Amino acid sequence: MEEYQLRDKVAIVTGGSRGIGRAVVLALARQGAYCAFTYSSHREAAETLAAEVREVGRRALPIRLDVRDFDGAKAMIEQVKSEFGRLDILVNNAGITRDRSLMGMSREDWGDVIDTDLTGVFNTTRACIITFLKQKSGQIVNVSSVSGIRPMAGQVNYAAAKAGVIGFTKSLAKEVAPYNIRVNAVAPGFIETDMTSQLGEKFREKAVEQIPLGRFGTAEEVAQSVLFLLSDTSHYITGQVLQVDGGLGM
Ligand code: NAP
């Protein structure tokens, strides 16, 4: 059922090939949106997802993009606009972790996370904002993390990047509200994806103890919150961070 009325909207999701991004792409397609999405290295996963989107009768466009690439992000936005003729939605989802203690954190560990998780959001948003401003409409959802609000030890790079995404979201929301553009964020807690699949059993048990709802979340649960923020159902909401974390960040 298309309860969010996103039929024929054109969406871009970064890091759409796996995990949360993949779930967002599928959720958007089921709501009737056309889906362009980016991947970094997993071409096969991207092609499989594009086929799934086409199966639900929507157009899909997988694009290879390293979100750290400013000019590449600009070219990606132009490609989507020329392919679909318009652009309505941007979901900044691509992200990585390189968790380790500050003592053991290299300049590369710091730079990779900041460049991907924070500067990546700047690159794609900077590239599409002119389109949204000109048409006086547009929806942006940024995928932050509970780590940007209530971080764990051993992830100063990720916590800084995700807190940065929240600051970015709020500042931009104020800047572009007069143009009928809304900018919100979701802050997932522990979600079952490749990103958390490497966590050891002991760590998982301890983590679950901290989560009031008593389990990790699913990518689909995050995707549903993203849909809500992108849809007209939330049209009086901007500059907000919706925690999708089973209560972890309270
Ligand atoms: P994931 O399963 O590891 O997927 C990451 C996605 O990002 C993939 O599509 C990957 O593309 C893409 N990507 C990575 N580096 C990129 C780059 N430099 N340029 C472009 N794309 C890049 O991760 P996930 O768990 O779904 O996480 C998605 C977002 O949610 C991230 O921002 C993450 O920080 C956030 N988040 C996740 C959790 C969690 O518990 N899983 C919790 C809070 C927040 P390829 O497939 O080509 O590698």
Model confidence at 114: pLDDT above 80: yes
What average pLDDT does range 108-122 have in this prediction? 98
- Return the ligand 1 atom nearest residue 41 CA: 47
What is the side-by-side order of every strand in the sheet holding 34-39? 60-64, 34-39, 10-13, 89-92, 138-143, 181-188, 241-244
Q: In angstroms, rounded to a whole number, what is the distance separating the alpha carbons of residues 180 and 173?
A: 10
pLDDT at 5: 81
Model confidence at 1: pLDDT above 90: no
Q: In angstroms, rounded to a whole number, what is the distance separating the alpha carbons of residues 157 and 148?
A: 10
Average of per-residue pLDDT values in the chain: 97
Residue in 4, 34, 39, 158 annotated catalytic: 158
- Rg of the Cα trace of the chain? 17
pLDDT at 27: 98
| 158 belongs to the catalytic site | yes
Query: Ligand 1 centre from 95 Cα, in Å?
Result: 4
Say if ligand 1 is within 6 A of residue 19 CB.
yes
Say if ligand 1 is within 6 A of residue 73 CB.
no
> Residue 238: exposed, middle, or buried by beta-carbon count in 10 A (0-12, 13-18, 19+)?
buried
pLDDT at 17: 95
What average pLDDT does range 96-114 have in this prediction? 98
Model confidence at 2: pLDDT above 80: no
3-state helix, strand, coil in the chain (%, to 5): 50, 15, 35
Q: In angstroms, rounded to a whole number, what is the distance separating the alpha carbons of residues 139 and 13?
A: 12
Buried b (16+ CB within 10 A) or exposed e, 97-108: bbbeeeeebeee
Say if ligand 1 is within 6 A of residue 195 CB.
yes
Phi, psi of 97 (to 5 degrees): -120, 150
- Residue 3 — pLDDT band, cuts 50, 70, 90? confident
Cβ distance 164 to 147 under 8 Å? no
What average pLDDT does range 54-74 have in this prediction? 98
- Residue 177 — pLDDT band, cuts 50, 70, 90? very high
Cβ distance 189 to 211 under 8 Å? yes
Q: What is the percent of the chain with per-residue pLDDT over 90, rounded to a whole number? A: 98
Q: In angstroms, rounded to a whole number, what is the distance separating the alpha carbons of residues 216 and 128?
A: 33
Say if ligand 1 is within 6 A of residue 15 CB.
yes
Q: In angstroms, rounded to a whole number, what is the distance separating the alpha carbons of residues 239 and 7?
A: 24
pLDDT at 176: 98
Query: Ligand 1 centre from 87 Cα, in Å?
Result: 22
Task: Look at residues 215, 226, 163 and name the one whose alpha carbon lies nearest to residue 189.
Answer: 215
What average pLDDT does range 189-218 have in this prediction? 96
What average pLDDT does range 181-195 have in this prediction? 98
The model's pTM is 0.98
Query: Ligand 1 centre from 238 Cα, in Å?
Result: 24
Model confidence at 44: pLDDT above 80: yes
Q: In angstroms, rounded to a whole number, what is the distance separating the alpha carbons of residues 182 and 128?
A: 13
Model confidence at 239: pLDDT above 80: yes
Q: In this predicted model, what pLDDT tens digit does every residue of 67-104 receive, in sequence order? A: 999 999 999 999 999 999 999 999 999 999 999 999 99
Q: What is the percent of the chain with per-residue pLDDT over 70, rounded to a whole number? A: 99
